[in-house]
Structure 1
Amino acid sequence: MLPIHELHRLKLRTKRLVLQVIDESYAERVLAFVLRNREALAEWEPGRDETYYTLETQRQLIRQERQSMDNGLSVRFWLTAAADPDGDIIGTASLSNIVRGAFQSCHLGYRMDVLHRNKGYMTEALAHVVAFAFERLNLHRVEANVMPRNAPSLKVVERLGFRSEGVASQYLRIRGVWEDHVHMVLLNPSWSER
């Protein structure tokens, strides 16, 4: 794992995006993203109560993200357009449930702003996030679990080389319903040589 002081100011750049770890000073921008995408993301996320959509809750979640990162358990990147890095947040990409030891694996999560879908931004961002997981965190596996009916999300990980390892029945509770998820996995090619 990278030293904590490096993680706290971590920033990845792609051709069109800036992916960065944030602190509480971004809470208003995060809340704007959450509010703007409330309906668009509701179908794919756990149920949220009204307190989730408050500035204080978003500040608290950012603090929790940083604590999880400090403990080596996750890294969340917040996406902005490279042409306007101080503008709206347009997505997130996270590596969570990082497990070391014999497993060396994590889960990949991602959300795209409804106003910026179908532009290839998420594929571009995740290519860099996966490279970060393999090259900088030295992980062996990155796992993404996607609802079968979420075809756009499945296409993103398939473009990056993820392969299905089957369907996990009733894997996550989304809006009060236990949903099946396709278990997509990408292995670090450098580990096959070890």
Structure 2
Amino acid sequence: MKKVSQHIYVRTLTENDAESLLTLELENRSYFQEFTPLVKDDFFTLPRQIERIQRSRQRIAQDESYMHGIFLNETGALIGTISLSSVERGPIEGAWLGYVLDQRQGGNGYMTEAIRLIIDFAFFELNLHRIEAGVKPSNKGSIRVLEKTGFENEGLNRKKVKINGVWEDHYLFAIIHPDES
């Protein structure tokens, strides 16, 4: 799958992207750890990134999770990842949105574009009904991006995610398929 917007495109990662993915993770390691749970040191190796991509492709085949890279149209550089995980079918028809963006690329509107592409993919190709996202109350940029793309704050989940050894509160944001809201 490849979806294109004005400045970026998103597509499923392949093993050829493993080095770029490793570079993204290494260059943003301390920045990403402000918002996501700690990962073990072996995560930051090429074999582990290849394995991550392979596992992601298996999960896509099983309709469990969809991880994509975010790439600049102009250069083809990998600048982030965006995923729909914990896909539930049946009476739920929902998924969980997660994303990271190279710290140097913040403020350019790229994540807004990427989320809009993934919303379109989720609702009109995967036929999902609802997408949820969690965000720390201190992450003002992520809150703005979710609001700009149509997500609504549904409340606070207290002590939801353990980040750097501390249980952190997270707002629950959600968006409903426009034809079903």
TM-score range, shorter chain: over 0.9
User: Aligned residue for 2:44?
Assistant: 53
Counterpart check, 1:75 vs 2:71: no
Cα deviation 1:19-43 (Å, max 9, x = unaligned): 1101212111110111111111110
User: Aligned residue for 2:109?
Assistant: 120
Shift of 1:74: 1.0
Shift of 1:97: 0.5
User: Structure 1 length as normaliser, TM-score?
Assistant: 0.91
User: Aligned residue for 1:24?
Assistant: 15
Indicate the SS of the match to 2:162. Answer: strand
Structure 2 residues not aligned, in runs of 5+: none
Distance 1:68 1:171 in 2: 24
Counterpart check, 1:94 vs 2:88: no
Structure 1 residues not aligned, in runs of 5+: 1-9
* Aligned counterpart in structure 2 of residue 155 of structure 1, from 144, 148, 169: 144
Q: CA RMSD in A?
A: 0.9
Cα deviation 1:147-173 (Å, max 9, x = unaligned): 111110011001111111111111111
Indicate the SS of the match to 1:90. Answer: strand
Return the letter of the residue paired with 2:33.
A
Return the letter of the residue paired with 1:155.
R
Q: How many residues align?
A: 181
Identity of aligned residues (%): 35
* Aligned counterpart in structure 2 of residue 110 of structure 1, from 94, 99, 105: 99
* Aligned counterpart in structure 2 of residue 179 of structure 1, from 168, 171, 175: 168
Shift of 1:131: 1.1
Indicate the SS of the match to 1:108. Answer: strand
Shift of 1:126: 0.5
* Aligned counterpart in structure 2 of residue 145 of structure 1, from 134, 138, 143: 134
